[in-house]
């Protein structure tokens, strides 16, 4: 042992000119930076991100395969003139089908084409008295199409033979009393998908926040942290860091989703799609702040990961309720339940986007819901911050809210 109890040299405490005390913002940034750099390497996070993106892409591929867009139809034609081709195409337009007419040499060629599924159906002798339609199996959409085309052709022929000159039918001027129903329903579906995503991400990132809080408490590293910063700085850094990561994740999903939807031509009105996606993103920020704060405060009451479930359950139930109401609201956006719950803090991030997409919410309604939510977040951060501060240094069993408030650190 080289140590001795007595030393003669007494030097004054060294000066540290290179060390400047941090501002609160710098500390919050440091904590947030640590959260991001730790979580971004976390397997759970990476896997969930990949799964989400694959899910979105899969959904669009499914949409394309199932034929959400325009259908096409190839009809073979043996004999017949330009007029027949034109009528077939016109009739196709009326039925929302793009018709391609393929001229075939004779019946044999027609049979082969149908058998090889080169064409959906082949029409023989359209202008004769007994036109024939060859199909693989009876009952396809091509039958109706061809039948009505020939009917139109025959009516026109008979009329012109009778010397009737047809005036073109007047164009109907459409006056919509309500917004276009079809367009809104697509936006509602996008909003619902977005809300499903919000629900998932609130739970995922809420869990991340909660686990982080308990990890710090159970490993007691929180004592070292609180020796250098105040509880609210730790809380803010944690929520902001993970929130930035969550926002990044949902933004990536949004970009992939929108780009995919445009590329695959799944939606009719890209403007509305993008508007809805931006709304969902904005609601993510507000909703996340709310749920992350609640989860963090709840988690601070326990000291072991095993006990997390019991304190998080009430909040998780609120999330489930919000999601179920959002599903309902998509069916009936003007229902009383949807209207009322779209103002309730905690539920509004999931119900309001659906109402907005359905065109049922006026701007002041959205503003009110946002305001209520911001007020709720302010209250939670204020009271929750005190609970968090009081509970952090108390380890052992589960703390009661009142105990935590009483134990608040100076």
Q: Say whether residue 19 binds other proteins (CB under 8 A).
A: yes
In the complex with other proteins, the residue whose CB is nearer, 16 or 130, is 16
Name, in order, each residue with C-beta under 8 angstroms of 305's C-beta and a sequence gap of 6 or more: 211, 214, 215, 218
In the complex with other proteins, the residue whose CB is nearer, 7 or 130, is 7
In the complex with other proteins, the residue whose CB is nearer, 183 or 215, is 215
Other C-beta atoms closer than 10 Å to the C-beta of 409 total: 13
User: What is the nearest approach in angstroms of other proteins to the Cβ of residue 207?
Assistant: 16
Range in contact with other proteins (rule: CB under 8 A) among 215-223, 261-269, 327-335, 355-363: 215-223
User: What is the nearest approach in angstroms of other proteins to the Cβ of residue 37?
Assistant: 8
133 sits in which H/E element: strand 132-135
Helices (H), 358-400: 363-379, 385-392
Per-residue binding letters, 156-195, with other proteins (x by CB under 8 A): ----------------------------------------
Q: How many CA atoms lie within 13 A of 348 on its CB side?
A: 26
In the complex with other proteins, the residue whose CB is nearer, 215 or 365, is 215
In the complex with other proteins, the residue whose CB is nearer, 238 or 355, is 238
Q: Which of 221, 278, 337, 375 binds other proteins (CB under 8 A)?
A: 221
Q: Which of 81, 106, 223, 332 binds other proteins (CB under 8 A)?
A: 223
Q: Say whether residue 216 binds other proteins (CB under 8 A).
A: yes
In the complex with other proteins, the residue whose CB is nearer, 21 or 271, is 21
* Burial of 196: CB neighbours in 10 Å, binned 0-12, 13-18, 19+: middle
Range in contact with other proteins (rule: CB under 8 A) among 12-20, 72-80, 330-338, 343-351: 12-20
Other C-beta atoms closer than 10 Å to the C-beta of 379 total: 12
For residue 152 the two structure tokens come to 């139109």
Q: Which of 17, 21, 167, 171 binds other proteins (CB under 8 A)?
A: 21
Q: Which of 90, 147, 219, 305 binds other proteins (CB under 8 A)?
A: 219
Q: Say whether residue 396 binds other proteins (CB under 8 A).
A: no
Q: Say whether residue 274 binds other proteins (CB under 8 A).
A: no
List the interface residues with other proteins, window 227-256 (CB under 8 A).
227-230
User: What is the nearest approach in angstroms of other proteins to the Cβ of residue 23?
Assistant: 11
Q: Which of 214, 222, 286, 347 binds other proteins (CB under 8 A)?
A: 222
In the complex with other proteins, the residue whose CB is nearer, 30 or 55, is 30
With the C-alpha atoms ordered 13, 17, 18, 21, is the resulting torsion angle positive or negative?
positive
Comparing C-alpha atoms, which of 381, 356, 350, 352 is closest to residue 369?
Answer: 352
* Burial of 91: CB neighbours in 10 Å, binned 0-12, 13-18, 19+: buried
393/311 Cα distance (integer angstroms): 18
Helix (H, G, I), strand (E, B) or coil at 192: helix
Q: Say whether residue 405 binds other proteins (CB under 8 A).
A: no
Site size for other proteins (CB under 8 A): 40
**Angle of CA points 334, 335, 336, to nearest 5°:** 120
Q: Say whether residue 43 binds other proteins (CB under 8 A).
A: no
43/208 Cα distance (integer angstroms): 12
CB 311, CB 183: distance < 8 Å: no
Q: Say whether residue 395 binds other proteins (CB under 8 A).
A: yes
Helices (H), 74-229: 82-94, 107-115, 141-161, 181-218, 221-226
Positions that interact with other proteins (CB under 8 A) = 1-3, 5-7, 9-14, 16, 18-22, 27, 30, 34, 38, 215-216, 219-230, 393, 395, 409-410
């Amino acid at each position: 042992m080289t140590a001795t109890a007595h030393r003669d040299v007494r030097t004054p405490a060294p000066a540290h000119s290179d060390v400047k005390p941090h501002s609160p913002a710098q500390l919050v940034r440091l904590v947030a930076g640590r959260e991001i750099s730790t979580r971004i390497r976390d397997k759970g996070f990476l896997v969930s991100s990949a799964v989400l993106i694959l899910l979105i892409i899969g959904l669009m591929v499914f949409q394309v395969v199932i034929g959400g867009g325009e259908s096409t139809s190839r009809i073979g034609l043996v004999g017949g003139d330009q007029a027949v081709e034109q009528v077939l195409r016109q009739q196709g337009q009326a039925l929302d089908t793009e018709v391609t007419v393929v001229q075939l040499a004779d019946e044999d060629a027609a049979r082969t084409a149908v058998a090889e599924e080169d064409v959906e159906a082949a029409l023989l002798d359209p202008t004769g008295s007994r036109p024939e339609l060859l199909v693989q199996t009876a009952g396809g959409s091509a039958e109706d199409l061809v039948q009505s085309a020939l009917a139109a052709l025959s009516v026109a022929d008979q009329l012109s033979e009778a010397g009737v000159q047809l005036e073109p039918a007047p164009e109907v001027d459409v006056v919509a009393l309500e917004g276009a129903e079809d367009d809104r329903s697509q936006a509602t579906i996008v909003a619902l998908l977005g809300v499903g995503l919000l629900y998932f991400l609130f739970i995922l990132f809420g869990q991340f926040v909660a686990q982080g809080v308990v990890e710090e408490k159970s490993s007691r590293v929180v004592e070292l942290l609180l020796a250098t910063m105040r509880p609210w700085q730790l809380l803010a850094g944690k929520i902001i860091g993970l929130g930035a990561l969550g926002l990044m994740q949902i933004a990536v999903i949004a970009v992939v989703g929108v780009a995919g939807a445009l590329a695959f031509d799944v939606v009719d009105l890209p403007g509305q799609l993008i508007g809805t996606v931006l709304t969902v993103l904005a609601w993510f920020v507000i909703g996340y702040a709310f749920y992350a704060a609640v989860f963090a405060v709840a988690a601070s009451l326990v000291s072991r990961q095993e006990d997390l479930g019991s304190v998080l359950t009430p909040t998780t139930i609120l999330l489930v309720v919000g999601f179920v109401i959002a599903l309902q609201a998509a069916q009936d956006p003007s229902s009383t339940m949807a209207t009322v719950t779209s103002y309730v803090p905690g539920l509004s991030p999931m119900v309001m986007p659906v109402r907005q997409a359905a065109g049922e919410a006026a701007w002041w309604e959205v503003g009110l819901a946002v305001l209520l939510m911001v007020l709720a977040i302010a209250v939670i951060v204020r009271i929750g911050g005190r609970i968090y501060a009081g509970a952090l240094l108390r380890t052992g069993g589960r703390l009661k809210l009142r105990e935590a408030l009483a134990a608040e650190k100076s």
